[in-house]
Amino acid sequence: MKTTINRLALAMAMVFATCAGAAYKCVDDKGFTRIGDTPPEQCANVVMYEVTSRGTVVRRIDPSLTPDQVKAKAAEVERKKEADKIANEQKRKDLALLATYSAEGEFDTVRDRTIDPIKSRIRNANDRLAAIDKRLKDLEDEMEFYKAGKSKGKTKDGKEKPAPQAPPMLVGEMQRLRTEREGINRNLAGYDRDIAAIKGKFAADKKRWLTLKAGGGAAEPAPAPVAETKPDAKTEARTAAKVDSRAPARKAN
């Protein structure tokens, strides 16, 4: 009798332990619901739930990602981060644009004021080019004598005197002036590019400003990130119940 009572108590304890423990369940790739005291291997690639004996969801267990999925997810996170960065930078520029200009005509005024110093440098460069060209013309006229190669008479022994050579200082000055002229011409080309870039920037800014004023592009600060919320146990329980209704339950081996 005592032995029978002990066996009955042990059986009840095992049943209680089983009922009190958690189970794992999922709907596998073929649509069957799998349940087990340990995670069924058929649940490896699908969402799995850990539930109590009463069906209350304790937690959701997402499937493990493959190496390719991990890489793809990381790439997607980086793309989103870069897109958010670009969007926030555009919003910052839009707000600055609206704060800087109050009328369309101000763009042309500020543009011309920005270009004026470059135009002044262009005028000075052209004046210097004119001076260089005039000096080079004088030097070239002076060099004509040496280029002709005419002799300056004869020596005492009757030989022709060699034609005079151009003074090194004269040759050096001509070379320096030509080098300076090349540099000035390069600068003038750069000034033209600078003016074109400034005009392009102000034209784009004016177009964007008009779009913003017309309401075609909202310039609002980027919203603060919203903290991710997870469903509570009751919500998970309802989700798990829906999972159970999809197919008849099968006890995992």
Spatial neighbors of 3 by CB under 8 A, at least 6 apart, are none
The structural domains of the chain, with segments of one domain joined by +, span: 16-64+231-251, 101-213
Burial of 17 (0-12, 13-18, 19+ CB in 10 A): exposed
Predicted confidence band of residue 194 (pLDDT cuts 50, 70, 90): very high
Helix (H) or strand (E) holding 21: none
pLDDT at 152: 57
Q: Is the pLDDT of residue 3 over 50?
A: no
pLDDT at 221: 46
Q: Tokens for 62, please give them.
A: 């997402």
Q: Tokens for 5, please give them.
A: 């009572």
Distance CA 103, CA 60 (A): 57
Nearest to 177 by CA among 142, 141, 140: 140
Helix (H) or strand (E) holding 187: helix 168-213
Q: Is the pLDDT of residue 227 over 60?
A: no
Nearest to 33 by CA among 247, 252, 233: 247
Predicted confidence band of residue 85 (pLDDT cuts 50, 70, 90): very high
Q: Residue-wise over 149-182: b if at least 16 C-beta within 10 A, else e?
A: eeeeeeeeeeeeeeeeeeeeeeeeebeebeeeee
Predicted confidence band of residue 67 (pLDDT cuts 50, 70, 90): confident
pLDDT tens-digit series, residues 173-183: 999 999 999 99
Q: Is the pTM of this model over 0.95?
A: no
DSSP string of 99-140, one letter each residue: HH-SSTHHHHHHHHHHHHHHHHHHHHHHHHHHHHHHHHHHHH
Q: Is the pLDDT of residue 244 over 60?
A: no
Distance CA 205, CA 217 (A): 13
Q: Is the pLDDT of residue 247 over 50?
A: no
